[in-house]
Chain A
């Protein structure tokens, strides 16, 4: 057996057992680390999620309101009330594995119930709110869920021991069945009522990794079947009695106002029920989307563009370029990099040459396959929201604020998410839908559906970043001083203001301020610059931009030092054995030292990137060819990953395969531009997605490890852009300092 884990902390207990409503065992526990005061933990748990039993658990344990629950019924079925949403990342499969492992039950016996919106009860341990994002699901759940499973098993074993009047140690447990020395057995369902009367253990023994039967082995996704036969319900699929369906148009220029519309013409379209106006947007409610779309076309809304009419990408970037020359808030300051760089410029520093570069990364839309949508049933006595969201409690709060209803009168019905990628961390589409519902004159629910054009033109975009870098090289060609100033929007300042300390947005510098490389003098600054378009998290968040910049610039230094890019990185990783490990693994698997096969009429090249982000170490090597027109084909990507203990390895492979395609789409073609205050791109025709015939072969190699698990939803996306850009350089000699690659190559 493994180490004993203390699940109490002085007087405060993290875990309790009790009886479930209608019979059965209920284990309530706290996912710790939410930065909440003890006094915040007193609220009653939600009725629907756990029945009255949770209240019973709380009553028996004054001062504890559990925020996660495992219920075991008399049939032995296990239900986990979980705070995480499924948006494709596989959490609905990997999280039950943690419980099933320690509870010693078949994974098929574990069912998930989606947690209702309640920020106090279902906070994410790492994010401190009810959020699915930042590749945190497994990282936050790893310990508490295994402990809860182990505690449930312990009381069930104890109940069996009492039934047979034997020592608990003499019993064997497997697949939800407890067997004694005489060969008699009881399944969990037969023991739940007896177990519910017992006290939770003060300590639990977690399995040694060597004894895992589920963790670390491949398991089929639990949501595959409904997603291949059309029965999976996404927010856009909700059907309610007498529901209207609305098409929406917001002011094309952000900040614009509605000045005119042809309401009679819209209302004359058969099937149109109502026209709704909220100042900066209009909606046409109809019997179906076709009538709503035609009604919206007939409405022909006219807008006053307002103050942003003259905004263009060029004007935003020119402003950024000028302001980025000013000093930023200091994120990292080791040694005296500024002095050293200054000396190098004058030719008398410790390091020799000074190398400088400016990097740029564009605005990006999320373009989830399921366009934004939200159904609202607003009544005098309450409000029901139907949508897919990564933040159910934020949606609830936004609707309560807008309607004036108390929080408990707003109910969020969450669905499968047809892609999240950070887009559904925002509730703008929920707020807009509720605002429309407020001005409705006809009763009944309405589903507000954005067209693809609306979805792309009214996204909240990955910020435009402008990075200034400088470095000096010592006499061996290795970096001595490194300077990096990130200029761009602060998402954290809006999303989670307390996270911004001394002017530094930790997300904006993640992957830049915490380099794994041994560089003696290092200074990283952040300079906030807010564009007139809304910005938001995008898959891979800070590292998606910083890993591109850092790994590209490091490649420039290796080239300047006339050294091999892998060997150069290797020499700088003396203090990061795990990153060195994946670098070596990827180089070996990719055959880094063997030349690529030549292709007639095309230039071929290989590029590398290495990163530590989201708690995981990764190296990617991309193989590309570039045609005479500057067209890039990515043939193969080799990724080596050390994410600690892998939970569901095939799920990890899937996340890297998909994350790499997502990152390649953006790095090759992704670019949202503004002209006359409007977003230029409209649909997949001008906001290009990678397709089947363009997707590379992706090979994933996972390092065997028993360290704490790292995140895997985002690393693939973060590391592919620099591997691609460095491969393009290797092929063509052209350094990509501005994404997307296709635009840079065209201008060259």
Chain B
């Protein structure tokens, strides 16, 4: 029975070691903010942070998270960078259906934590693993720049 540190709290979960973090979060810990999109690390909807790195929780087993810190969308607002990202997202109304946006916010927060002033190429590299079927890419790019302080709200 692995112990996982999720959003700063140690939780003992009755799950097999090879279970992807995604299902441990959603179906066992009851935290549904992290989304299932493809199951094979192709869409990024399941993105969470493992020791600050953006990872695809649908293909990362819980065994890989033991002794590390998992941060999910439910707690990313407590991180100053995460809070700035969420604020920028709200400011220019990035979301449409919203299903992919947990993963987008997590990926953007990891990007800005590592690279506070990203270039367009940095944004492409960090965000192209996250699919948005509603096509909010233009606004995601703009919101990242607002959160980075490299662009202002023009709306």
Chain A residues engaging chain B, CB cutoff 8 angstroms: 87-90, 218, 220-221, 223-234, 236-237, 239, 245, 270, 287-290, 293, 367-371, 416-421, 449, 451-452, 650-651, 654, 657-662, 665, 683-685, 689-695, 697-698
Interface string of B92-135 (1 = CB under 8 A from A): 01111111111001000000000000000001110111111111
Residue of A whose beta carbon sits closest to that of B136: A658
Q: When A230-B72, A685-B42 are in contact, do A695 and B135 touch as well, CB less than 8 Å? A: yes
User: Which residues of chain A are near B73, meaning CB under 8 Å?
Assistant: 229-230
Question: Which of the listed residues A89, A236, A290 has the most CB atoms from chain B within 10 Å of its own CB?
Answer: A290
Which residue from B37, B90, B97, B99 sits with its C-beta under 8 Å from A224? B90
Q: When A230-B102, A289-B23 are in contact, do A658 and B35 touch as well, CB less than 8 Å? A: no
User: Which residues of chain A are near B128, meaning CB under 8 Å?
Assistant: 691-694
Distance (whole angstroms) from the CB of B1 to the closest CB of chain A: 13
Chief secondary structure at chain B's binding surface: loop
Query: Could you give 6 example pairs across A and B, Cβ below 8 Å?
Result: A234-B99, A452-B43, A650-B93, A654-B136, A684-B131, A695-B138
User: Which residues of chain A are near B100, meaning CB under 8 Å?
Assistant: 369
Question: Which of the listed residues B23, B34, B96 has the most CB atoms from chain A within 10 Å of its own CB?
Answer: B96
Judge whether B151 is part of the interface by a CB distance below 8 angstroms.
no
User: Which residues of chain A are near B24, meaning CB under 8 Å?
Assistant: 290
Judge whether B68 is part of the interface by a CB distance below 8 angstroms.
no
A287–B19 Cα distance when bound, in Å, is 13
A372–B49 Cα distance when bound, in Å, is 26
Say yes or no: A223 contacts B95, CB within 8 Å.
yes
Distance (whole angstroms) from the CB of B133 to the closest CB of chain A: 5
Interface string of B14-55 (1 = CB under 8 A from A): 011001100110111011111111111011010000000000
Q: When A369-B35, A662-B134 are in contact, do A88 and B98 touch as well, CB less than 8 Å? A: yes
Distance (whole angstroms) from the CB of B40 to the closest CB of chain A: 6
Beyond A288-B19, A293-B39, A416-B98, 19 additional contacts (C-beta under 8 Å) are: A88-B96, A230-B33, A288-B15, A368-B99, A369-B37, A369-B131, A418-B99, A420-B97, A650-B93, A654-B96, A654-B136, A657-B138, A659-B135, A662-B135, A691-B129, A691-B130, A691-B131, A692-B127, A695-B135
Judge whether B74 is part of the interface by a CB distance below 8 angstroms.
yes
Judge whether B2 is part of the interface by a CB distance below 8 angstroms.
no
Say yes or no: A683 contacts B42, CB within 8 Å.
yes
A88–B96 Cα distance when bound, in Å, is 4
User: Which residues of chain B are near A287, meaning CB under 8 Å?
Assistant: 27
Say yes or no: A683 contacts B135, CB within 8 Å.
no
Say yes or no: A369 contacts B138, CB within 8 Å.
no
User: Which residues of chain B are near A695, meaning CB under 8 Å?
Assistant: 135, 137-138
Residue of A whose beta carbon sits closest to that of B90: A224
Distance (whole angstroms) from the CB of B91 to the closest CB of chain A: 8
Q: When A230-B102, A234-B99, A371-B36 are in contact, do A88 and B134 touch as well, CB less than 8 Å? A: yes
Question: Which of the listed residues B20, B72, B74, B101 has the most CB atoms from chain A within 10 Å of its own CB?
Answer: B101
